[in-house]
Amino acid sequence: MELFKHPFYTFIYDPRRRIITFKWTTETEKMQVYDYQEAIHNFAGFAFDNPAKGLLVDLRDFRYQPPTSLGNWRDDVVSPRYVKAGVKKFAYLAPPGLLEKMQGAADEYKQKRGFEEGYFGSEDGALRWLDS
């Protein structure tokens, strides 16, 4: 069920699986920092409003290049909101290249975030992991 639609992204909820998907669009090439931050905050809010054990972020059409400082902002400000909402697993769906880059950087922050993270090249793989 579609929860929210914006030119830069869509949030989709699967109540049976208790998974919310955050699907970025190619329009993200026009984003500014505040658009990115608003989107991330909105996603955390929807995790509070809809019981979710898992979150899936689909980066296959993501075109924005966020400054590296936003990674720390996300960990310090937004990740605790996911934990408070009861999120146990957070999956990323990314194209080759980006996928490997994300996996390499993930170990540095793994303990800080408070939930399991997985990185996938296929939606089926991400959903199977979130369901497990």
Mean pLDDT of 72-87: 91
Question: The domain containing residue 13 runs over which residues?
Answer: 2-131
Structure token pair of residue 68: 């590296």
65 Cβ partners below 8 Å, 6+ apart? none
Structure token pair of residue 63: 């075109």
Q: Is residue 22's pLDDT more than 80? A: yes
10 Cβ partners below 8 Å, 6+ apart? 2, 4, 22, 23, 25
Q: Which helix (H) or strand (E) holds 2?
A: strand 2-6
How does the average pLDDT of the chain come out, rounded?
A: 91
Q: What is the CATH number of the domain that holds 75?
A: 3.30.750.24
Query: What was the pLDDT predicted at 47?
Result: 95
CA dist 49 to 14, 36, 63, Å? 13, 20, 28
**CB 57 within 8 Å of CB 98:** no
pLDDT bin (cut points 50, 70, 90) of residue 91 is very high
Q: Is residue 106's pLDDT more than 70? A: no
> Residue 53, SS3?
coil
Structure token pair of residue 71: 């990674």
Mean pLDDT of 88-109: 79
Query: What was the pLDDT predicted at 99?
Result: 78
Mean pLDDT of 87-98: 92
* Domain count of the fold of the chain: 1
Q: What is the pTM of this model?
A: 0.92
